[in-house]
Amino acid sequence: MSTTVDARGLSCPQPVLMTLNKIKEIKKGEIIVKVDTDTSRENVSRAAESQGWEVADIQKQETEYQLTLQK
Instruction: Name residues whose C-beta falls within 8 Å of residue 54's C-beta, 6 or more positions apart in sequence.
Output: 48, 69, 70, 71
Q: How far is the CB of 37 from other proteins (least distance, A)?
A: 6
Q: Under rule CB under 8 A, how many of the chain's residues touch other proteins? A: 22
Q: Is 54 in the site for other proteins (CB under 8 A)?
A: no
Instruction: Answer yes or no whether residue 30 interacts with other proteins by CB under 8 A.
Output: no
Please, what sign has the CA dihedral across residues 4, 52, 65, 13? positive
User: Binding residue for other proteins (CB under 8 A) from 2, 4, 42, 56?
Assistant: 42
Distance (Å, whole) CA 12 – CA 3: 21
Q: Applying CB under 8 A, which of residues 33, 44, 47, 67 lies at the interface with other proteins?
A: 47
Cβ atoms of 51 and 69 within 8 Å: the answer is no
Q: Is 4 in the site for other proteins (CB under 8 A)?
A: no
